[in-house]
Amino acid sequence: MDEKLAAGGVDGSGLHEFAARAASLSDDAAATLFLAGIAARFAADRDQTVCWAMTTLDLYAVGLEQVGLGPDKLLYAQGRMDVDVLAIAEDALRDGSLACVIAEVKTADMTATRRLQLAASDGQTPMLLYRRHRMRDRCPLASPSSAMTRWRIGCVPSERLPWPGVGRSRWQVELVRQRNGDPFSLELEACDATGRLAVPAPSRDRAAAPRRADARDGAISRAA
């Protein structure tokens, strides 16, 4: 995936936006874990803490730890409204002492995203903005933004196993837009315990499965 990104990877001093492919709990969980895996890698590389700002504390800590973002690496911040969350994120970015800043909001206009992009550049800190709100199933990424990359994440059927059960979760990862680069779509295996994704093995390299798994994905619920 890094080879398809104009910066050779997720830029460590820019704003990146994320949204679930559909208004479902499974896609919401997939998007959450996808950006958590990115944050986990930044935290491991820089040996610093991640700040996660939101209006509702509904994260599932066990799920985050399974993609490499343990409680020792997380600093939670809660605001009453989106404007408070955005202000927290901007201050955290300008501080420059964090591995990564994550913010969850319903809306963020062009001015807000421009301020976050400038703050990320000034503080040399990556900003991951999760747009969770959907109005009549309209994708949040339809609104304009100053983000360097914009991602849409959804679940796809997990790998087939030679025995009953569910294989490693799989996600459809769509880069809707990137600055100085082309969009793309990949089917990837979900983050492992170090926050790293994987390319599914070609079908010819897999053992034959007697039947399909009876569940479509292994997404972890966000519910506390």
Structural domain spans, the chain: 12-205
Beta bridge partners of 150: 17, 177
Q: Which residues contact 127 (CB under 8 A, 6 or more apart)?
A: 14, 15, 16, 89, 93, 100, 101, 103, 116, 117, 119, 120
Helix (H, G, I), strand (E, B) or coil at 176: strand
Domain at 12-205: CATH code: 3.40.50.300
- Predicted pLDDT at 138: 79
Span 156-186, pLDDT tens digits: 988 777 777 677 889 999 999 999 999 999 9
Span 33-80, pLDDT tens digits: 999 999 999 999 888 999 999 999 889 999 999 999 999 999 999 999
- Predicted pLDDT at 23: 86
pTM: 0.86
d(CA 175, CA 161): 29
The pairing of beta strand 170-178 with beta strand 50-54:
unpaired
* The pLDDT of residue 211 is above 50: no
Please compute the mean of the pLDDT values over residues 123-133 and round it to a whole number: 93
Span 16-32, pLDDT tens digits: 999 999 888 999 999 99
